[in-house]
Amino acid sequence: MRTQVVIIGSGPSGLLLGQLLANSGIDNVILERVDRNYVLGRVRAGVLEQGMVDLLDEAGVGARMHAEGLPHEGISLAFDNRRHRIDLHGLTGKRVMVYGQTEVTHDLMDKREAAGLTTVYEAKNVQPHDFDTASPFVTYEKDGVTHRIDCDFIAGCDGFHGVSRKSVPQEAIRTYERAYPFGWLGILAEVPPADHELIYANHPRGFALCSMRSEHRSRYYVQCSLDDKIEDWSDERFWDELRRRLPKEAAERVTTGPSFEKSIAPLRSFVAEPMQFGRLSLVGDAAHIVPPTGAKGLNLAASDVRYLYSGLREYYLDKSSVGLDAYSGKALSRVWKAVRFSWWMTTMLHRFPDTDAFGQRIQEAELDYLVHSQVASASLAENYVGLPY
């Protein structure tokens, strides 16, 4: 079998890239390790930057997002039992869209199916080959049979644990990493959110976040220990801990109810450089991870897709490889700024093992400065709504 671009992974990166390419007449096949429902079962990001919203529109999958998503014009920062609004729209002229990654993935899968494009689910032992030559190919196993797809390019959209980055010779890649000494415990519950906008809370007991998926579905997080097990966290314990970490007026507005999803995620910053090796390009989590505090992971995947898609389009339609050759440099320049922002938000809002009374006061002073200085608020807002592509 032959195609123009083999895409490894059907997360948001792979599906969005595949759709944009197909819309430009560029043939592609997606190989995914697990089944469709497993992919859709993952609960992850919830905040889309305008740049990603525009890209989903360009791909032709924006209709449900515009009908059901919630445009937000601000966020709150809470500390020292008070809450302060950052007017994202007033400071930047831009908004963000609250619409779950699960829904984005669903819309992209439906569109791909309707367009009759090929996705091979439960493709085992996927392996990219010869990407340092002009004739790369990918092999995989399905139902015990080995298949080979010849192609022009391979897009590694297979997440942090995928095979693409691991296939690159070690001496050709440099990685940067920071693991944080805590995790996030997240729940979903069919209850109205505490507020119509997100609340990021710094508290001596640890960070908390009030988010949502709709006007009747809430997504909440509390910072937890990496040793904690889900079984340690009954719903009751979760709601008590969340409310303790919020200012009193916000805590009183938390509606509790049974959770229907509960998971713990470790926090990590990671970047692999470069993001391109001959005809193999890494996209999204395959190349970089950020802690979720800045809501940047999914949005970085979208900007990578934008750069790679433009390069591939130029290659096929204008017969120029200038854009493709610039992919890694362009993507990394934006990635590092989001890595910096996510690290800064994480550092300012969480309790670290060595956060003593002095450290707590320093965090509160930084937050106090941030919410009362227009310049500092504008800098946060500019990064939160997303730097330009």
**Binding of ligand RFL by 45 (CB under 6 A):** yes
**Binding of ligand RFL by 168 (CB under 6 A):** no
CA-to-CA dists, residue 84 to 2, 198, 249, angstroms: 56, 11, 12
157: helix, strand or coil: coil
DSSP letters, 14-69, are HHHHHHHHHHTT--EEEE-SS-HHHHHT-----EE-HHHHHHHHHHT--HHHHHH-
Is 384 catalytic? The answer is: yes
155 vs 335, beta carbon nearer ligand PHB: 335
CA–CA gap between residue 209 and residue 220 (Å, rounded): 6
Is 296 catalytic? The answer is: yes
Q: Which stretch binds ligand RFL (CB under 6 A): 43-51, 52-60, 81-89, 369-377?
A: 43-51
Q: Which stretch binds ligand PHB (CB under 6 A): 1-9, 14-22, 222-230, 288-296?
A: 288-296
**Binding of ligand RFL by 265 (CB under 6 A):** yes
Q: Tell which positions 72-111 bind ligand RFL, by CB under 6 A.
A: 101
Q: Which stretch binds ligand RFL (CB under 6 A): 9-17, 142-150, 240-248, 329-337?
A: 9-17
Is 292 catalytic? The answer is: yes
In the complex, the smallest distance separating the C-beta of residue 385 from ligand PHB, rounded to whole angstroms, is 13
Is there a contact between 240 and 98 (Cβ–Cβ < 8 Å)? no
**Binding of ligand RFL by 163 (CB under 6 A):** yes
Single out the residue of 92, 63, 62 nearest to residue 75, CA to CA.
Answer: 92
292 vs 323, beta carbon nearer ligand PHB: 292
Buried b (16+ CB within 10 A) or exposed e, 130-153: ebeeeebbbebeeeeeeeebebbb
- Both tokens of 274, joined, read 């470069």
**Binding of ligand RFL by 326 (CB under 6 A):** no
Site string for ligand RFL, 271-310 (x = CB under 6 A): -------------xx------x--xxxx--x---------
Site string for ligand PHB, 89-108 (x = CB under 6 A): --------------------
CA–CA gap between residue 161 and residue 140 (Å, rounded): 17
- Both tokens of 215, joined, read 């006007």
364 vs 385, beta carbon nearer ligand RFL: 385
Is 247 catalytic? The answer is: no
How do strand 28-31 and strand 174-189 relate by DSSP bridges? unpaired
- Both tokens of 122, joined, read 């439960």
CA–CA gap between residue 67 and residue 78 (Å, rounded): 30
Q: Which of 6, 20, 28, 44 binds ligand RFL (CB under 6 A)?
A: 44
Site string for ligand PHB, 152-171 (x = CB under 6 A): --------------------
Residues that are catalytic: 72, 200, 292, 296, 384
Interacting residues toward ligand RFL by CB under 6 A: 8-14, 31-34, 39, 44-46, 101, 123, 126, 157-159, 161-163, 265, 284-285, 292, 295-298, 301
Interacting residues toward ligand PHB by CB under 6 A: 45-47, 198, 211, 219, 292-293, 295
